[in-house]
Structure 1
Amino acid sequence: MSLRDELLKAGLVPSEQAKKRDSDARRQEHQRKKNKTLGAEEAARREEARQRADAELARKREQDRRLNQRREAERQQREHAARARQLIDAHRLNEPSAEAIYNFQDGRFIRAVRVTPAQRKALATGRLAIVRGDRGEFDFPLIPRETADKLAQFTPERVLLLYPESEGDEAEDEWGD
């Protein structure tokens, strides 16, 4: 026999009060279980929302990282173009009085640049190079080999013609100049 039953039998506790306490106890137990399920559901919803927020944050970070990479690449490209322009303009050896035409291949096109006989020899021996300038579509500056080597390090697409370096005497003997 339980304590409640003994108290009822002794008449120390009225039966309505005992029923009310039983009812309250059942109600509290029910609320506790309900809150536990609601708490678990609420915790699951919170966890799901947190996971969605984390996934969104990760996606945003990845998008920002890609955007920053693209911006950095564009900045580097502009920097390389400016540096190339500066190198070419500082070491340009084209002479306005040159009359000989020197033909060379630019991709699938044959291009021409005016050179002096000394420049033609320097081109053939690899001491001069032809590069793509940016003053116009047909701007092909002649620059020294050292400058062309520096230019090829960061913008190799600008170097159009650079023969391997050789001695000029061999070329003269071979062609009978």
Structure 2
Amino acid sequence: MSGSLRDQLLKQGLVNKKQVQQAQKADKRKARDNRKSEKVGEEVAVDEARLQAQQAREQKKLRDREANLKREEQRKEKELVAQVKQIIERNAIQPAGEIDYNFVVAGKIKKIGVDAMQQKALSGGRLAIVELADRFVLIPVGAADKIAQRLPETILSQSDNNQEEPDPDDPYADFQIPDDLMW
């Protein structure tokens, strides 16, 4: 109740002083409760804003971490490619000869001209074939092993010298397949 209305009701005798005081206390209590609820509402809004800001920071850290991992992975990949290229350049043997040596790359038959000694080395697993600057070159098996540790898909052709034990039930075990078979 407002002050003038209370005075009028008190003069007319509709309310007594005790009721007016109780009404004033109730008004003060309501006002205080309203202020508290506004403060609580503001605190809740501030807490929510802090929480959202913290979540945004955590998400940004996560995205940054993922981006850093991706950049690191790309850097390592470039480093491996550079190492492989350097190994190939240092150990490259240019194929020279009239004998066609056939090998398969991505499901297609490719051929390279080699001499008899290179052909025996390729068949025996002492040389491997790799591609360098859109041409095929030969490299020794030691260099091929180093490359296989880094990027095995770089080696296009390498004979496996390791003979597996033949199956005792194999009816063709007595017939050996020559390594230098021409096709």
| TM-score (normalised: structure 1) | 0.73
Please name the residue that 1:81 is paired with. Answer: 81
Distance 1:163 1:123 in 2: 7
C-alpha contact (below 8 Å) 1:125/1:166 kept by paired residues: no
Count the aligned residue pairs: 150
Gaps of 5+ in 2: 1-16, 164-175
Name the SS for the 1:98 alignment partner.
coil
Please name the residue that 1:37 is paired with. Answer: 37
Letter in 1 for 2:111: A
Q: Which runs of 4+ in 1 moved over 3 A?
A: 25-31
Gaps of 5+ in 1: 1-15, 168-172
- Alpha-carbon RMSD across the aligned residues, in angstroms, is 2.7
Instruction: Evaluate the alpha carbon distance shift between residue 68 and residue 174 of structure 1 in structure 2; reply closer, same or farther with a 3 A threshold.
Output: closer
C-alpha contact (below 8 Å) 1:99/1:116 kept by paired residues: yes
How far apart are residue 174 of structure 1 and its match?
A: 6.8
Instruction: Evaluate the alpha carbon distance shift between residue 174 and residue 61 of structure 1 in structure 2; reply closer, same or farther with a 3 A threshold.
Output: closer
Name the SS for the 1:114 alignment partner.
strand
Name the SS for the 2:61 alignment partner.
helix
Deviation digits for residues 131-159 of structure 1 (CA, Å, limit 9, x no counterpart): 122x12xx111111111111011111101
Alignment of 1:94 onto 2:94: yes
Alignment of 1:160 onto 2:156: yes
Distance 2:57 2:40 in 1: 25
Please name the residue that 1:107 is paired with. Answer: 106
Percent identity over paired residues: 32
Letter in 1 for 2:156: L
Deviation digits for residues 82-113 of structure 1 (CA, Å, limit 9, x no counterpart): 11110000000124x42222110001111111
Distance 1:94 1:166 in 2: 26
Please name the residue that 2:52 is paired with. Answer: 52
Distance 2:53 2:162 in 1: 65
Please name the residue that 1:62 is paired with. Answer: 62
> Which has the larger share of helix?
1
How far apart are residue 28 of structure 1 and its match?
A: 4.7
How far apart are residue 35 of structure 1 and its match?
A: 2.3
Deviation digits for residues 4-33 of structure 1 (CA, Å, limit 9, x no counterpart): xxxxxxxxxxxx9xx79x84x555533431
Please name the residue that 1:9 is paired with. Answer: none
